[in-house]
Amino acid sequence: MVSKVLICDDSNMARKQMARALPDHWPVEVTFAKHGQEAIELIKAHEFEVMFLDLTMPVMDGYETLEEIRKQDLPIMVLVVSGDIQPEAQERVKKLGAIDFIKKPVDQARITAVLTEYGIIGEAPNE
Amino acid sequence: MNEQITLSEDERDCYQEITNVAMGKAADRLARLLGVYVVLPIPNVNIIEINEFKMTLKSLEGNATVSAVCQGFIGAGIAGEALLIFNDASFTDIAKLLDYPGNLDKHEELEMLMDVANVLNGACIQGIGGQLDIDFSQSHPVVLGQHCSISDLLNDKQNAWQRTMAIEINYTIEDHNINCDLLLLFTEDSVLHMNRLISFLLED
Amino acid sequence: MDNNDTDMTEFHWFMDILQTIDAGLVVLDRQYNIKLWNGFMENHSGIRPDQAKGENLFTLFPEIDSDWFKKKAESVFLLNTRAFTISEQRPFLFKFKNNYPITGRADFMYQNSTIIPLNNISGETDHICLILYDVTAAAMHKIDIANQTKQKT
């Protein structure tokens, strides 16, 4: 069963890095969005299981995006992935409904751990 | 023969993202140090000519309300300076946050400026170095125009360089009247070198 | 056992400090081949320690006047005493960029240096250490004063 994942970041490089950091054993279909507004439109049109969301973006930033998702009651799990790692940034996003905060630069081990912790993926198959 | 430095969209995007992460680390340090929230906008990455830079310096000159602190950094073929430009109105608020007692005299103001610059510059430079796997060494902070006037600086620049890559970051502290601009300036040869380094990050 | 641990910690501290200190450290053998190259030298030259070690100083840095330098260094090898070079005599040994390449007024780093003897177990000076100091700020200051004086006369 393939999981549909949305990666929302204004940086092309960051989107690619995020995609590369997803666990190898996780069957996914990845879609990219450049900012919050694009992400909201995509979420309303398709069903996504998880979104990896950046905070500093033009047009609609991460905070505004989280607020929109809450306002419109959109069914999606949001993991914030950001370089803005201040204590208050982390607090704010959790209050706005993000399930967790992942610091940039991302690494696969951390992403796998978080996804496993929230039951989004099962344990890795033994090789 | 000087190879002229240019930035492709991908390279600009890459520097923006690297800076974004480094800024985040710097803001985090400042946030913990001062117990505040730092507003982080998207950094601006541009190649600027020496004349444009001279205009920036000129706007600092004779402007009693602005101060600038610079710190050089160097490592692995990359060299540059971090130039932190403060709005003087910010001083009283910064002093309050840092718990400096009462009214500051000129010396104390300068010392405080240099300390704050050191925190921001240091975190940013190390943050960039960490992502490029470079251990930058940093020189001590110097207040621009302290040892010589800015006019001297402008006149002396015998076109030692023509172009620099400038990354501009604006830091604002929420609920306080504190605003400063950090300009990360890289020498021409550094840019050529860095473009090569980041090419591996840009591969698909 | 405690003493050994303390010694090791202190040793590591010293190593860290020598790597990050704002002064260049270069150890040379009798043939002026590089045996040690610290972080300052690495960062300012762009040459890593593994690239520098074993190489001849004058081959890697042709800007250094080898006759002049050898004369200074020989006195250290033979007499087991220090020798000095100052930026007033020669602005620099190594052609390094100014630490402030954008806003700085000097086109290169002005340098002073101290050459110290390093002795082996038999007490012979078979190596020397070159300690390189960045004196750009002081040098520019002197130049400024000299220029001001010139203008007044």
Map out the domains of chain B as residue ranges: 9-202
pLDDT of amino acid C151 = 79
CA distance B171 to chain A (A): 12
Position A19 pLDDT exceeds 90: yes
Burial B102-126 (b: 16+ CB within 10 A, else e): eebeeeebbebbbbbbbbbbbbbbb
- Looking at residue C33, what DSSP letter applies? B
A81: nearest CA partner in chain B: B21
Position B155 pLDDT exceeds 80: no
pLDDT of amino acid B42 = 87
**Topology classification of domain C2-152:** Beta-Lactamase (3.30.450)
CA distance B102 to chain C (A): 33
The token pair at B85 is: 């430009």
Question: Chain C within 8 Å of B177 (Cβ-Cβ)?
Answer: no
pLDDT of amino acid C53 = 96
Beta carbons of B13 and A87 less than 8 Å apart: no
Question: Chain C within 8 Å of B167 (Cβ-Cβ)?
Answer: no
Cα–Cα dist B113/B107, whole Å: 10
Residue among C22, C43, C107 whose CB faces B160 most closely: C107
B202: nearest CA partner in chain A: A13
Cβ distance C41 to C34 under 8 Å? no
The contacts found for C64-72 with CB under 8 angstroms, 24 or more apart, are C64/C93, C64/C94, C65/C90, C66/C32, C69/C93, C70/C32, C72/C115
Position A49 pLDDT exceeds 70: yes
Task: Give the number of other Cβ atoms within 10 Å of residue B158's Cβ.
Answer: 8
Beta carbons of A86 and B22 less than 8 Å apart: no
| Percentage of chain A modeled with pLDDT above 90 | 80
Cβ-proximal residues to A114 (8 Å cutoff; 6+ apart), any chain: A79, A100, A102
Mean pLDDT along residues B132-142: 89
CA distance C19 to chain B (A): 10
Rounded to the nearest angstrom, the gap between the alpha carbon of residue A95 and the centroid of all alpha carbons in its chain is: 16
pLDDT of amino acid A48 = 94
CA-wise closest residue to C26 among C99, C94, C124 = C94
Who has greater pLDDT, B152 or B105? B105
Residue among B25, B31, B40 whose CB faces A87 most closely: B31
Segments making up each domain of chain C, as ranges: 2-152
Cα–Cα dist A121/A41, whole Å: 25
Cα–Cα dist A1/B198, whole Å: 36
Looking at domain B9-202, its CATH superfamily turns out to be CheC-like (3.40.1550.10)
On chain B, the residues whose CB falls within 8 A of the CB of C46 are 76-77
pLDDT of amino acid B85 = 87
CA-wise closest residue to C96 among C126, C130, C61 = C61
Cα–Cα dist B175/B172, whole Å: 9
Question: C100, C107, C110: which to substitute to probe chain B, counting the most B Cβ within 10 Å?
Answer: C100
Cβ distance A33 to A7 under 8 Å? yes
pLDDT of amino acid B19 = 93
Cα–Cα dist B74/A59, whole Å: 36
pLDDT band of A127, cuts 50, 70, 90 = very low
Cα–Cα dist B5/A85, whole Å: 32
The token pair at C110 is: 């002005």
Q: Which range scores top for mean pLDDT: A120-124, B168-172, C4-8, C33-37?
A: C33-37
Cα–Cα dist C85/C116, whole Å: 12
Cα–Cα dist A63/A58, whole Å: 12
**Burial tier of B16 (Cβ tally within 10 Å: 0-12, 13-18, 19+):** buried
CA-wise closest residue to C93 among C77, C79, C118, C73 = C73
CA-wise closest residue to C25 among C125, C132, C126, C97 = C132
On chain C, the residues whose CB falls within 8 A of the CB of B83 are 102-103
B193 three-class SS: helix
Question: B5, B48, B74, B165: which to substitute to probe chain C, counting the most C Cβ within 10 Å?
Answer: B74
Mean pLDDT along residues C35-62: 95
C-alpha torsion angle, residues A22, A24, A27, A28 (rounded to 10): 20
On chain B, the residues whose CB falls within 8 A of the CB of C104 are 72
Convert the pLDDT of each residue in B7-52 to its tens digit: 888 899 999 999 999 989 888 888 888 888 988 888 999 998 888 8
Cα–Cα dist A49/A75, whole Å: 8
Please count the CA atoms within 13 angstroms of the CA of B23 that sit on its side-chain side: 27
Position B157 pLDDT exceeds 80: no
Convert the pLDDT of each residue in B50-92 to its tens digit: 888 888 777 776 666 778 888 999 998 899 999 988 877 777 7
Cα–Cα dist B1/C49, whole Å: 29
Task: Give the number of other Cβ atoms within 10 Å of residue B9's Cβ.
Answer: 8
pLDDT of amino acid B1 = 41
Cα–Cα dist A53/A100, whole Å: 11
Question: B5, B137, B147: which to substitute to probe chain C, counting the most C Cβ within 10 Å?
Answer: B137
Q: Is B102 left (phi over 0), alpha (psi -120 to 50) or beta?
A: left
Beta carbons of B81 and C101 less than 8 Å apart: yes
Q: Do chains C and A touch (3 or more CB pairs under 8 A)?
A: no
Who has greater pLDDT, C129 or C150? C129
CA-wise closest residue to B168 among B153, B180, B183, B185 = B183
Beta carbons of B72 and C44 less than 8 Å apart: no
Residue among B83, B137, B160 whose CB faces C43 most closely: B137
Burial B76-92 (b: 16+ CB within 10 A, else e): bbbbbbbbbbbeeebbb
Cα–Cα dist B146/C146, whole Å: 19
Residue among B77, B79, B148 whose CB faces C101 most closely: B79
Hey, what amino acid is at B134?
I
Convert the pLDDT of each residue in C67-92 to its tens digit: 999 999 999 999 999 999 999 889 99
Cα–Cα dist C40/B122, whole Å: 17
What global pTM score does this model have? 0.82
Domain at A3-117: CATH architecture: 3-Layer(aba) Sandwich (3.40)
